Structure formats: structure tokens, C-alpha cells
A and B are shown apart, each in its own frame.
Chain A
């Protein structure tokens, strides 16, 4: 159990959190905790210090980029890589430069299957410091 990477998934779509959390865990490679809104997500990040955060861009109350900014300015969380998720745009339209600007290491367009998401998580974790494009 100890070599499983610990992932925090922050998304206001609770059903998405439920299924994607389970699916990722069932690959045997990840341990997933979920939060359905920003404040809860930030607290979890501070307490549990996950290896990586999956962060939805379009959420009510606090948006993904706003959360990312708070995490980046917090000593406890600034080292944690962030992968953005969104249902609004296609991957081709966003370009990695824009993602870097809002503090992300990569970007995934919903809907996404577990295999593709897991692949993206692993490549970001492997290349620690570098931004990753898939």
C-alpha cells in the first residue's frame, strides 16, 4: 500500500469524484481522496500532503485557477503538482502555456477514460519539475 501515489481530486461533480476516484484506486496504483469544493480541497491538501492534485477549472464559489493560486502561495502545498480538468474546452485549444500560467502542470478534457487519466498522472509524477504535455 505504501508505494501507492496519493491523489487529491477536487471537483464539484460528486458523481464524477465517486466513479473516477474508485476507478483510479482500482488500478492499484493510486490512493484517492476527493473534495467537492475549493475550501475543503485546500484544507485536505494542507493536512494530507498528496502527491498530486486533480483540479476542475469550472466550479462555483471558487474556481480551479483561484484554488491553484492559493495552493501555490502556501509553503505546505506549493510543491504539489496540479493537473487541471475541464469540460468546457478541447485540449487543442488550450495550449500548455496557458496551463502553466494558471499554475498547472498538465491538462485533461472531460470526458476522459481512466487509462488516459492514469497515464497523465504518472508522466507528471515522473517528470516532477517539468511541465508535461500528453
Chain B
């Protein structure tokens, strides 16, 4: 850390010398001035942490020096020295911004303690000012990152720059690469006419230089500055300004330009510190916009990745489901073999017994019939199981799904009446084609409608909806079929299991637990999907989606359309 710089101002040389020696011994960097005028010159060209000034001096007094230093650098501290009679002036000095005062002749230890206290104060003040500047820079980052478009970003940068150095007027000029001209993109405190008509050739101007070499330009006093041509000085209509290069990459745009800031609210010239702050801001703005761009790209990548993972999960689940069904298929295969062979033996055996009865006995003969019936019944169950296992073949045909649903409704309508269930049809049209195995789909609709009826033991409403699914591109348009009941609903903890093979909530012997599993297998084979939504006590909705048929004239003809069917 630099040594704190102290300026001692007193017209008495002994006082200056004493303070200089004492303070330098304490590792301070000390300069002296014998009057107020010299002091003010020094203040303008150098930064001081602390002034120690006599109050009564010829020409320029201590109060004026304090006033001046507060203008140039508001966080320079000041201690005023005064003789007894002018204590009221010391109070005035304090009001002007001095931190403390000491009466002459002063005690050196008291002086050192005061110096220490003032420098501590100064540190706190500087920290505070720096913090507020940092906050402005941070706010800029946030504001820029959330700006909706490129122009808003530029406006945001300009406003922040003005706020940062407390200036009124400014502009951002961007380079038109074709014409090699700078034009004003955003401005504050400039007339519309100036904004519209200002065109600066790249190689002719100060801005052009800033743009080319990237070094910030600060003009403290335009009349004294040789870099600005005498002729054009009046055109700037200001005494002091700062010009900085601005580079922004936003989306596909690569903007190169200059930010100009002028007219401090206080009316003073800009200082080195403000130039650094603005450079920071310009650099920060570029980085933030670039980061934001990268961040958006990253976000898009993450979204893509999430989608991929979700799709992978879905595929994986489907594969697991298919694998499960394949396992069930193999199991059924084995069961069929192990059970149907003994059934064949029983059947053959009973026939053998019948053939070899030596006398006629109706009781025994009737018993044999019953055994044969049981064999057939057992065999039929096996056949049902096999029908939907892996070995079954899909027989695709163009069908009208509305008609197929109506067929199923006609099968259950008597049962519905009995159970006090109202059936509502909500078909998008009466003719919606899909390529499907009609027997299998009939089984699907029947299984789902039967389940719905079972869930509404106290009556209710069964709603069937068939409509084109709006999602998806033309080539993979789908038809949605919903079967909704107002029954008991499925508890949340078992909702994910309902499609599992052999999962049933019915009493033993009342269901095989294969109904919904078969439904899902059939939809899988049709490249369709099924989902279930349910709320305990409110009801259940099964939503199926099947690939829509690409209807041809021939296929339309083939489908017969039945309209106006009502079930109640």
C-alpha cells in the first residue's frame, strides 16, 4: 500500500518544517505549500489523502482551500489550524468539509492522533465511494444481462456510464463497416438533429483514433489540449470529455464503437479515476454481453441435453416394458407347454376310460363330460394368455376408430344402464382413420371401458373423446383417444404400476392382472402410447395416442361412417 500523502499549508516556515519532519518520521509522504494559491495548484495535479492547513493566510485562506479540494476530490480529508480568536472561522471550515481543527500552538501528540483519525475516516469514506461505484458496475452487469435486445443493451450501458461519473451528456457511436463511418446509436442530452446527422469518418477524428488503438482518451481542458485541433474545439461544446472504445458481441452482431461521456453535473473536468471507472464499465459491458451470449448458448445446450435425456429415459422405459412383456411372453410359452401337455393327457385319458367302460353308467359318463369341460376351460384360459403374448401377430387394416369405439359401447351399454352410468361421446368427427388391428384395439377399448365401469359402482359418467392430436409434425400426426370415468380413482402410490403384468387390485380369481398390461402391449405394437391420469375420489382418464392414418381416397371409401349415435 502507498504511503498516505499529506499536504501541509502554512505561511509560517517553522510550522511547515516541524510538521513535515514529524510526519515523515511517521512514514507519511508529506508536501508543503506556503500559501493557498500554491496549495490549490498542487491539489489539482496530485491526489492527497489529507490536508493540514492554516486558516489565516494571505491571499487565499484555509476555508477556500478546503472548498477547492472537496470539489476536486471529495474524499480528501482536511484538518484546519487556527489561533484562539478565530474559533468561529474553524467552525465554518468544519461546515465546509474539514474533518477537524486544532488550535495553535498545538500539541504534537494531539496532532498525530488527529492525523491518524482523519486518515482512518478517509479510508472509510473512500471505501464507501468505491463500494457505491462497484455497486453501479454490478447493477450494469445485471441490467445488461437481462436487456431484451441489442438497442436496450446500448442504452443501458450509456445510462450506467453517465450515472457512474455523474455526467449529463453522452453517446454511443457504432462503426458502419461498409462506409467506415461512425454514427450515433444511442444518445443522452443531444438534440435529435445531431443524433441523426452526425457522421464521422474513421480516419478523421479523435473517436476514430480511440477506436483504432483502443486507448481511452480523456480531455481535461479542451482549450489546452493539443490533440484536439484548434478549429474544431468549439464543435465539442464542452471543456472536458472522455472517449472509450466499446466492443460488444451480441447474438450474431459484432458491434465496434465508441462511448463518449461529457458534462459532469458538478461542472468540473473529468479525472483519471473516472476514466478508469468508465474503462472498467466498457470492458465489463462487453464481457457481460459476451457471457450472456455464451450463457444463453449453454442454456440451449442444457435444454437440448435435458430433452435428450428425457427421450432416452422414455425409450429406456419402453425398452424395459418391451423386455418385461417379452419375459412374460416366454413365461406364458413355458406355462402353455407345461399345462397343455398334462391337459392333453387328461383328455386322452378320459376318452380312453369312456371307450373302455364295461357297463353303461350315466353318473360316471356325466363326470367324464365335466372333466372334459374343465380341460377345455383351462385350455381356453391358456389360449387367452397366449393370444396377447409375444407370439401373436399384428393384422393391420385401415379402420374408423369412432366406429370401433361405438361397437365397444354397444357391448357395454346395457351394463351401463344397470349401473346408472351415463355415456358421453365427444368425437372430433365421426370418421377418424388409423392403421390398426381392429380385434386388438377392440380389446383395448373394451378392457378400459370395463375397468371404468368397475370403478363406478355407484353410477357416474363415462366420457369418450376422439380427436386429432395437435402436437407433432405432419408426418407423425397422431390421433388421441380418451376414456374418462368419474369413479373411485387410482391411489397415487400404485398409479405407476397399473400397466405392470399381473398387477391387480381385484380379489383373487376376479382378474388375471393382465388387462392393462395387454392394453399397453397392444399400443406399443401399434407404435402408440398410453398414459393415465387419476385422482382418488374424482376419477381416472386414460389417454391413448395412435399414429394417424395417411388417408387415401380408397381408404376413406373403405371406412363406413355411422353418425348420430347417442348413448344415454
Give chain A's interface residues, CB within 8 Å of chain B.
13, 15-16, 19-20, 22-23, 26, 58, 87-90, 93, 109-114
Nearest chain-B residue to A115 (Cβ)? B351
Of B85-93, B293-301, B338-346, the one contacting chain A is B338-346
| CB pair A88 B347 closer than 8 Å | no
Closest chain A residue, CB of each to CB of B333: A88
Note all chain A residues with C-beta closer than 8 A to B345. Answer: 13, 15-16, 19
List B contacts of A26 (CB < 8 A): 352, 355-356
Q: How far is B435's CA from A104's CA once the two chains are assembled, in angstroms?
A: 34
A selection of 26 A-B contacts at a CB cut-off of 8 Å is A13-B344, A15-B348, A16-B341, A16-B344, A19-B348, A19-B349, A19-B352, A20-B344, A23-B348, A23-B355, A26-B352, A26-B355, A58-B337, A87-B336, A87-B337, A87-B340, A87-B343, A87-B344, A88-B333, A88-B340, A109-B340, A110-B343, A111-B379, A112-B347, A113-B347, A113-B372
Minimum distance in angstroms from B377 CB to a CB of chain A: 12
With A16-B341, A88-B333 already in contact, 9 other A-B pairs whose C-beta atoms are closer than 8 Å: A15-B348, A19-B352, A23-B351, A23-B355, A87-B337, A89-B336, A93-B392, A110-B343, A113-B372
Task: Report B-chain residues with C-beta under 8 Å of the C-beta of A110.
Answer: 340-341, 343-344
Known: A23-B351, A89-B386. A111 touches B337 (CB 8 A): no
Contact A89 B391 (CB under 8 A): yes
Contact A112-B391, Cβ < 8 Å, known A23-B352, A23-B355, A89-B336: no
**B347 in contact with A111 (CB, 8 Å):** yes
**Restricting to B314-372, which residues have a CB under 8 Å from any CB of A?**
333, 336-337, 339-341, 343-349, 351-352, 355-356, 372
Q: How far is the CA of A88 from the CA of B333 in the complex (A)?
A: 6
B544 interface residue per 8 A CB criterion? no
Complex: chain A residue closest to B340, CB-CB: A87
Interface residues on B, range: 20 to 34
List of A residues within 8 angstroms of B506 by Cβ: none
Taking CB atoms, residues of chain A closer than 8 Å to B386 are 89-90, 93
B: residues with CB less than 8 A from A are 333, 336-337, 339-341, 343-349, 351-352, 355-356, 372, 375, 379, 383, 386-387, 391-393
Q: Which of B339, B348, B379 has the most CB of A within 10 A?
A: B348
A93, B332: Cα distance in complex, Å: 14
**Which residues from chain B contact A112 at a C-beta distance below 8 Å?**
344, 347
Q: Which residues of B contact A23 (CB under 8 A)?
A: 348, 351-352, 355
CB neighbours (8 Å) of A111 from chain B are 340, 343-344, 346-348, 375, 379
A114 near B387: Cβ-Cβ < 8 Å: no
Cα A75 to Cα B213 with chains together (Å):
100
Q: Chain A: which residue is nearest B332 at the CB level? A: A88
A90 touches B387 (CB 8 A): yes
Given contacts A93-B386, A93-B391, A112-B347, is CB(A87)–CB(B341) below 8 Å?
yes
A112 to B341, CA, bound (A): 10
